[in-house]
Chains A and B, each alone.
Chain A
């Protein structure tokens, strides 16, 4: 019994940190409708900053407390700066661009932390006066955690008072429930947004600074915390600060008791299972309010002109000729790079069908790529199929998963859709990662090499080229088919589309299946080119990568995704070769793309081309 109570207190103390981070994210989302990936980065930054301030400030023991107050303020200031310089430009942009821009901020802050603090694990100093423990029911309980347990509710109360008793808070709540209304009230929306962003960032920073004496400071703190925070915010209800409190308590307690009662295989998956369950049963979260989503025209991804690239015939012929004739002349490594580009092109193009043509912002597309790869590996290693058979059947594994997950996802739209795809991808990731007996867990599956007759680079490239041609040709065909046009119609105006007899869910589900199939084919190509499969193939960074490729190419042209894949891969190679700060460079490129080339490279070239031709007459 004593154990249970102490475990409960432990879970609650952890929940208080989650609450601080999550309430900030939730407030920002509520008002600006931006899903801010960089939120975890501010948390990390504040923890590092606080640990440095403690030693730098000449205040003796009280420098700890000064640091805990100053670091979040510094981070909030930075948050304000980023809001004013970057985010302000994209509030009305489609959600995809917002996500990718905040992701660019994540990359840059991540590298900044590496640059200033190094990559070695650090520990923050203990809080003077609170570093000991007190006995509770015969168990020692850290004094600091106890203080946090008291402080947490205090913060929740002040937040409540701020939101309900001050003019500014009432404005925040009004903006959360109806954005247009605040504009009508004659409030300066710009500064309201900035203010909320600063407040939210400050909350993240506060949590980070307060965490400093408890945990290890690492360069991956940001991604660990942001994923948990998403879960909390989604469960509690996006935009609801008290939802964040409830979500945090649920997750904190669930984790504390999960350790005791759940088999270890479930530890990774449990929170995402909960997140998916909430999204399926009550998409707007436990305390959130359902709303008719006010999406920008064209839904989550913006409105694009065409679904297909109209390039002159000689461009296509040239590309084809190069693809066939060049590889035998290239050194082996470059042939492998081309194989990888083919795999990624399928991955990106299949996502383009969902995001560009279908207007469905999938945040977990790596699941289908990865399951294609695992399908290939498992069919070959566990079912002992010959390699060509495993290669051919693997996409079906991915398609089956896509149809299963898709059946739930297509019931939602916008950011809720994105979150549910993320949750499913994380569940798939957790299963692959933890099911050691079947998938090999994080050791992956090794020895997944092409059969002997296909093992030379050029031969495997030929197979990959054929497969990619079939896959991309299929996607191209689908985009131009009645199905594809109807999918675009459903993106442009869902209600209208329903009112011409289209079952939106069934239609979108079919798109999900097609995209899963093609992503799975990409995964199979990838698996045999690497000779191994790993859970990382299904991970969130991989999903983000696919979105980046689509964005680089331009979300509205199918060919764009392939170009995006090629440019992304080459950039990756060049950047990795010449600098250790590849993240920062990638982040910079990403930010430029969002701000300067919202329609991607292909869209940009196409526009220039059209303009040139019209000006030439």
Chain B
């Protein structure tokens, strides 16, 4: 039986045409099963990231830089005499999908290691998979400090400076400001909350008389910005800490600008100086905000200038911090494989511990006791640059990770507490 409006004959024929296509798809999948034999199989690296969904706005320039790093290493003859191949998978912003891909990459594609991820909860989920299955996972961008500390383990390494480091950098500077009444707005989500907790704890240490005038935790990706702006205005804080990101930040910033909130309070924004956040806002970006970010346009290191030039040529756009992190992540992976002389997990882990890598922004290393890299971040304030058609960072300084990362004893304490 069919429903009345469909025409039986045509439908039948269409069905006959689609049936074989479906069968063919399954056959294609099954054909993939026998492992591809060959004299020198490539080194395969599994890369999982949010190419669609809530974080999709950040990941393309990241991927372009990863591809650039891979092209470079292959042009130089590959690693251990083998080509490098990266298998990209889209987690759609869902941790569950990321774990599914991890299973597929590790057990199906037999990748040597996993890399990538952007969202904190996705990073933590893949990390747990790595722990259970004893697979190396080099996390690129997830910022939650739990990744390497409270939930750290032998098989996880992380490149980007985490919420703790960046929050601390900002707190050190904010403590020098005269503001006592603070408010916070951030997404009700792992990163947003952690980013605030470290900052606030450190600020209170440095400046015990600060008080909290209000806190706001809109749902990630679903902010109704005008209401929050009005609420913040009414609480009259002297300074506001923002850990919003993505579309939430853009929507909030547009409302805050129009309603004069930027003029009424001093703003501190974690990550918000990064081109990812400044560029979409164009000339609506706030001025004078204390931020961590990535002033790629002003970094004078020759190696970095070369990186920017190469990236612009490859991607036909300017880099964002994700591009830098992606590039550095894969440089680190390559270096570890070279040093290990193998793609065996335990040898790569051993190689990564304490490994020093020369990157476009100078040398960084992976701390052997917590597997956090010492990559730092840039702290500065924002300014509108009509010539560039958007905001830039000025008065910035590069704060290397070593300056803000906790000691081995402190890390051990955090891990104990988490148990």
* Distance from B206 Cβ to chain A, minimum over Cβ atoms (Å): 27
Interface membership of A83, Cβ < 8 A? no
Q: Say whether A331 contacts B6, CB under 8 Å.
A: no
Other-chain contact of B128, A256, A531, A573 (Cβ < 8 Å)? A531
Q: Say whether A3 contacts B188, CB under 8 Å.
A: no
Other-chain contact of A224, B131, B221, B281 (Cβ < 8 Å)? B221
Interface membership of A391, Cβ < 8 A? no
Q: Say whether A119 contacts B56, CB under 8 Å.
A: yes
Q: Say whether A573 contacts B104, CB under 8 Å.
A: yes
Interface membership of B302, Cβ < 8 A? no
Other-chain contact of B33, A97, A331, A442, A449 (Cβ < 8 Å)? A331
**Complex: chain A residue closest to B317, CB-CB:** A120
A165 — which chain B residues lie within 8 A by C-beta?
A: none
Interface membership of B89, Cβ < 8 A? yes
A434 — which chain B residues lie within 8 A by C-beta?
A: 188
Interface membership of B255, Cβ < 8 A? yes
B219 — which chain A residues lie within 8 A by C-beta?
A: 267-268
**Complex: chain B residue closest to A536, CB-CB:** B94
Interface residues on A, range: 35 or more
Q: Say whether A534 contacts B95, CB under 8 Å.
A: yes
Q: Say whether B247 contacts A532, CB under 8 Å.
A: no
Interface membership of A61, Cβ < 8 A? no
Interface membership of A332, Cβ < 8 A? yes
Interface membership of A323, Cβ < 8 A? no
Segment of B17-25, B170-178, B377-385 engaged in the interface with chain A: B17-25
A537 — which chain B residues lie within 8 A by C-beta?
A: 96
Instruction: Give bound CA distance, A220 to B129, whole Å.
Output: 28
**Complex: chain B residue closest to A140, CB-CB:** B260
Contacts A216-B251, A537-B96; A10 near B230 (Cβ below 8 A): yes
Interface membership of A334, Cβ < 8 A? yes
Other-chain contact of A121, B4, B120, B250 (Cβ < 8 Å)? B250
Instruction: Give bound CA distance, A11 to B51, whole Å.
Output: 33
Q: Say whether B107 contacts A574, CB under 8 Å.
A: no
Q: Say whether B250 contacts A215, CB under 8 Å.
A: yes
Contacts A219-B52, A576-B90; A336 near B96 (Cβ below 8 A): no
* Distance from A330 Cβ to chain B, minimum over Cβ atoms (Å): 8
Other-chain contact of A580, B51, B57, B106, B218 (Cβ < 8 Å)? B51
Instruction: Give bound CA distance, A220 to B50, whole Å.
Output: 13
B190 — which chain A residues lie within 8 A by C-beta?
A: 441-443
Chain B 224-257 interface 0/1 with A at a Cβ cutoff of 8 Å (1 = within): 1111101101100000000000111111001100
Chain A 575-603 interface 0/1 with B at a Cβ cutoff of 8 Å (1 = within): 01100101100000100100111110100
Interface membership of B151, Cβ < 8 A? yes
Interface membership of A182, Cβ < 8 A? no
**Complex: chain A residue closest to B247, CB-CB:** A216
**Complex: chain B residue closest to A457, CB-CB:** B107
Q: Say whether B227 contacts A255, CB under 8 Å.
A: yes
B250 — which chain A residues lie within 8 A by C-beta?
A: 121, 123, 215-216
Interface membership of B312, Cβ < 8 A? no
Interface membership of A260, Cβ < 8 A? yes
Task: Tell me the chain B residues, 82-134 only, with Cβ under 8 Å from chain A.
Answer: 89-90, 94-97, 99-100, 103-104, 106-109, 120-121, 124-125, 128-129, 131-132
**Complex: chain B residue closest to A571, CB-CB:** B25
Q: Say whether B125 contacts A133, CB under 8 Å.
A: no
Interface membership of A451, Cβ < 8 A? no
Interface membership of A89, Cβ < 8 A? yes
**Complex: chain A residue closest to B4, CB-CB:** A92
* Distance from A355 Cβ to chain B, minimum over Cβ atoms (Å): 15
Interface membership of A91, Cβ < 8 A? yes
* Distance from A369 Cβ to chain B, minimum over Cβ atoms (Å): 11
Contacts A532-B125, A597-B18; A574 near B29 (Cβ below 8 A): yes
* Distance from A179 Cβ to chain B, minimum over Cβ atoms (Å): 14
With an 8 Å Cβ cutoff, the count of chain B residues facing the other chain is: 85
Interface membership of A264, Cβ < 8 A? yes
Q: Say whether A140 contacts B60, CB under 8 Å.
A: no
Interface membership of B419, Cβ < 8 A? no
Q: Say whether B128 contacts A141, CB under 8 Å.
A: no
Task: Tell me the chain B residues, 141-158 only, with Cβ under 8 Å from chain A.
Answer: 151
B282 — which chain A residues lie within 8 A by C-beta?
A: 123
Interface membership of B407, Cβ < 8 A? no
Interface membership of A218, Cβ < 8 A? yes
Instruction: Give bound CA distance, A216 to B58, whole Å.
Output: 14
Q: Say whether B3 contacts A296, CB under 8 Å.
A: yes
Interface membership of A495, Cβ < 8 A? no
**Complex: chain A residue closest to B17, CB-CB:** A596
* Distance from A540 Cβ to chain B, minimum over Cβ atoms (Å): 13
Interface membership of A302, Cβ < 8 A? yes
Other-chain contact of B247, A121, A141, A582, A592 (Cβ < 8 Å)? A121
**Chain A CB within 10 Å — which of B97, B124, B258, B282 has the most?**
B258
* Distance from A230 Cβ to chain B, minimum over Cβ atoms (Å): 14
Contacts A120-B60, A536-B96; A7 near B230 (Cβ below 8 A): yes
Contacts A120-B280, A259-B216, A604-B19; A446 near B94 (Cβ below 8 A): no
Interface membership of B417, Cβ < 8 A? no
Interface membership of A507, Cβ < 8 A? no
**Complex: chain A residue closest to B133, CB-CB:** A531
Q: Say whether B99 contacts A119, CB under 8 Å.
A: no
* Distance from A132 Cβ to chain B, minimum over Cβ atoms (Å): 8
A145 — which chain B residues lie within 8 A by C-beta?
A: 226, 258
A3 — which chain B residues lie within 8 A by C-beta?
A: 230-231, 233-234
Interface membership of B36, Cβ < 8 A? no
Q: Say whether B59 contacts A255, CB under 8 Å.
A: no
* Distance from B128 Cβ to chain A, minimum over Cβ atoms (Å): 4
Q: Say whether B99 contacts A302, CB under 8 Å.
A: no
Other-chain contact of A11, B90, B121, B227 (Cβ < 8 Å)? B227
Interface membership of A6, Cβ < 8 A? yes
Contacts A120-B280, A331-B107, A598-B2; A604 near B121 (Cβ below 8 A): no
Contacts A10-B227, A118-B60, A133-B258; A592 near B280 (Cβ below 8 A): no
Q: Say whether A574 contacts B230, CB under 8 Å.
A: no
**Chain B CB within 10 Å — which of A94, A305, A532 has the most?**
A532
B75 — which chain A residues lie within 8 A by C-beta?
A: none
Q: Say whether B18 contacts A596, CB under 8 Å.
A: yes
A580 — which chain B residues lie within 8 A by C-beta?
A: 51, 90
* Distance from B124 Cβ to chain A, minimum over Cβ atoms (Å): 6
Interface membership of A316, Cβ < 8 A? no
Task: Tell me the chain B residues, 1-23 only, with Cβ under 8 Å from chain A.
Answer: 1-6, 11, 14-15, 18-19, 22
Interface membership of B403, Cβ < 8 A? no
Contacts A90-B5, A256-B224, A534-B121; A570 near B25 (Cβ below 8 A): yes
Q: Say whether B99 contacts A532, CB under 8 Å.
A: yes
**Complex: chain A residue closest to B3, CB-CB:** A93
Instruction: Give bound CA distance, A529 to B281, whole Å.
Output: 42
Instruction: Give bound CA distance, A449 to B134, whole Å.
Output: 13
Other-chain contact of A442, B107, B131, B220 (Cβ < 8 Å)? B220
Interface membership of A116, Cβ < 8 A? no
Q: Say whether A333 contacts B108, CB under 8 Å.
A: yes
With A139-B230, A303-B1, A532-B95 given, can you name 16 additional A-B contacts, CB distance below 8 Å? A7-B231, A10-B230, A92-B5, A94-B3, A122-B280, A133-B260, A140-B259, A145-B226, A145-B258, A220-B56, A255-B227, A267-B218, A457-B107, A531-B129, A536-B96, A580-B90
A–B pairs, 26, beta carbons within 8 Å: A7-B230, A11-B227, A118-B60, A120-B280, A122-B280, A139-B230, A213-B254, A215-B250, A216-B246, A218-B246, A260-B227, A332-B107, A333-B104, A333-B106, A336-B107, A434-B188, A441-B189, A443-B124, A530-B96, A574-B28, A576-B89, A576-B90, A582-B90, A583-B52, A595-B11, A595-B14
Which 9 A-B pairs give the minimum distances between C-beta atoms? A333-B108, A333-B107, A216-B250, A119-B56, A216-B247, A596-B14, A142-B258, A446-B128, A332-B107
Taking beta carbons and an 8 Å cutoff, which residues of A are in contact with B? 3, 6-7, 10-11, 13-14, 88-94, 97, 114, 118-123, 126, 131-133, 139-142, 144-145, 213-216, 218-220, 224, 255-257, 259-260, 264, 267-268, 296, 302-305, 330-334, 336-337, 340, 434, 441-444, 446-447, 449, 457, 530-532, 534, 536-537, 567, 570-571, 573-574, 576-577, 580, 582-583, 589, 592, 595-599, 601, 604
